[in-house]
Every structure is written in C-alpha cells, then in structure tokens.
Amino acid sequence: MIFVTAFLRQAEQILDVAVETPGESPNLAIVIDRQGGMRMLDSQGWSLGAMSAEFGAAAVYKVERRGRTVRVEGWGGGERCLIQRNLTPQRPSDLPGMPTSIFPTQHFLAA
C-alpha cells in the first residue's frame, strides 16, 4: 500500500502549478501558517528553517527554476521533501529499457 502524506500531496500540487506558470519568479517561497493561511514571498536568502521560525509556519515550500527544471523543496512537521520536474519534452528513447530508436535501422543497397 502506498501512503502519501498531505504534506507531500501539497508539494506535488505546488509543483504542478509552478510547471504550468512559466516565467514567474525563479525563486518563490510559500509559507503555510498553523491556521492554514498562505503567504508567498521571494525566497532569495532564506533557508526553509529560517522561514518557518520567522513566520511560525506549519510548512514551508521553496519553488526554484533552474534552466528547464522546476523543483519544490518542502519542510514542516518533521517532514522534508524535494521533488522536481524536467520541462524538456520526453522522447520514448529517454524511458528506461527503451531502445535508442523506436524505428528499426533500414539498410539500402545502391543499384
């Protein structure tokens, strides 16, 4: 049985939104307070622990864009996570166990 916590589900939802909104701030923090309120701010210069302590957060998530990769790092309630998604389109040959080309090599003889 696979068990996914609300904390990780929230990180996945944040990643989904971040991927769908290209061009937004490259470094963004989302602070969830103990009453469920949310605050978004520039994460530049902040660690997850420092933001949690400063704002009395139940959970803190950092969204970072690095080239064609978006990553979300979360911290709160004794849990940590780091998930990321590559924005480059996937080719079938990028999948594990797939051949480099899905088309067989064809050889032609000159007449």
How buried is residue 49: exposed, middle or buried, by Cβ count under 10 Å (0-12/13-18/19+)?
A: exposed
Longest Cα–Cα distance of the chain, Å, equals 79
Report pLDDT for 4. 67
Residues 11, 15, 17: CA angle, nearest 5 degrees: 120
Report pLDDT for 68. 85
Nearest to 73, CA basis, from 108, 39, 27? 27
Q: Count H helices, E strands: the chain?
A: 2, 5
Q: What is the DSSP letter of 77?
A: T
Report pLDDT for 101. 56
Residue 60 has pLDDT above 80, yes or no: yes
Q: What is the pLDDT of residues 91-102, one digit of tens each?
A: 666 666 666 555
Q: To the nearest whole number, what is the mean pLDDT of the chain?
A: 83
- The single-letter code of the amino acid at 69 is T
Collapsed DSSP state (helix, strand, coil) of residue 21 = coil
The answer to whether the pTM exceeds 0.85 is no
Report pLDDT for 14. 93
Q: What is the pLDDT of residues 2-41, one digit of tens each?
A: 666 889 999 999 999 998 887 666 789 999 998 889 999 9
Residues 68-72, mean pLDDT to the nearest whole number: 91
